[in-house]
Amino acid sequence: MYERVDMAELFEQSAQKMREQGLSEVAIAQFERLYHEWQENDATSWIREEDVERLDNVPSFHDVYETIDHDQAVKAFAKTAFLKLNGGLGTSMGLDCAKSLLPVRRHKARQMRFIDIILGQVMVARRRLGVELPLTLMNSFRTSADTMKVLAHTPKFTQHGIPVEIIQHREPKIEIATGLPVSYPQNPELEWCPPGHGDLFSTIWESGLLDELDARGFKYLFISNSDNLGARPSQTLAQHFENTGAPMMIEVARRTHADRKGGHLVFNKVTHRLELREMSQVHPDDRYDAMNIKKHPYFNTNNIWVRIDALRDMLAKYNGVLPLPVIRNKKTVDPTNPDSTPVMQLETAMGAAVSLFEGATCVLVDRMRFLPVKTTDDLFIMRSDRFHLTDLYEMEDGNYIFPNVSLDPRYYKNIHDFDERFPYSIPSVAAANSVTIEGDWTFGRDVSFYGDAKLTDNGKPSYVPNGEYVGPQGIEPDEWL
């Protein structure tokens, strides 16, 4: 893109900006690797179809459950620490605080947020199994204060010796036209972005967390996203991971039609290792094969198990900066203003580290361990009568096969608009195959969806009265034929 002689000078301006903000040399070294990869190889490094094979014979959670010694499993679980990625603000839903502070549903009359459910899962596991199960949150510079305030006001959650928080790095957004760090005086905070969840590894390295865990006898680290309430601690998977002897294990789930454009696990014929292939790494000629869910049936849940000693050795080998593939995100400096300066955000994916570990493996899990909330469509299901939040703080459903939900983004994408249009509760979806809402609809109490429920746009704000049923033809008529 730019002349090589200029590249060092261009990057130095980003490095200087990072130093002025107090960022470490590890953070700067990591960003320098991403920056040079972007400059020198602007085209994505393809993972070609001819170089990979489909994954076969992945052991399932059910098979594992039947074969392990459950008494022994508690011992493996006692050597496991829990780490949650908690750096997201939920800006796609209009949030200006940590997404984990978003209310999900009530439990015994108490409004429960993601963070409350996570803390509940940890405390119940500690009490029932008699294990320490330390919890560490990887917060961002934008989520730390809000999240730590919640922990301070949760007196039943205590932890000593292991930090409850590490802070992920941040990096400058780069102006695409110049290669320089972008300037946005209207809101200087928007000049910065997180480096993706692959930043976890350099953050862990710099924090000294692995040394602290090792010194206290912990052997395994279970990592997952805070917005995935299915990723709860599991003694069964802890024992299975120990039995494999693998340095890393990724929980995968079967792809459906809705997952066909997401990252999937393959076996690389060149390196003879597992590899996470994101769609940005798929050559246009290979898209049909990559999206074929029968040919490549497994996707990455981002629930990852890793041996603490293996990760520490790998990070030492690379001085804390793992050579992960670069993900290029073209955006505007103000995501809400498409006319603001075009920028490049350079990121890495945590799961991509699987290709670095000889002998890494994966395990097939049910959808009960993959319940992410990325949009208000997802939140609609989580708050509906499809789920019950148990006393073990587990989100339970009968079969985890949910109706397809499509809410008009003009009126439901923003969480405040969403809440305003469901002032009482989410309508019942127990009998619904799909839910489609077009236009501006507000819902009364005790509304029920059934079949392929659909409401069309009336061109004006509309209301579904209390107790009504909504089906394929809209609101059911109340007159006799």
Catalytic residue numbers read 374
Place of tokens 């074929």: 292
- If we measure between CA atoms, which residue out of 98, 251, 214 comes closest to residue 165? 98
Q: How far apart are CA 250 and CA 273, in angstroms?
A: 13
Asked whether 64 and 240 are in contact (CB, 8 A), the reply is: yes
Q: Count how many Cα atoms sit within 13 Å of the Cα of residue 420 in the half-sphere of its side chain.
A: 10
Asked whether 172 and 195 are in contact (CB, 8 A), the reply is: no
- The dihedral over CA atoms of 91, 93, 98, 103, expressed in degrees to the nearest 10, equals 180
DSSP state of 447: -
How wide is the angle at C-alpha 422 spanned by C-alphas 446 and 107, nearest 5°? 75
DSSP letters spanning 70-98: HHHHHHHHTTEEEEEEE----GGGT-SS-
- H or E element, residue 236: helix 235-244
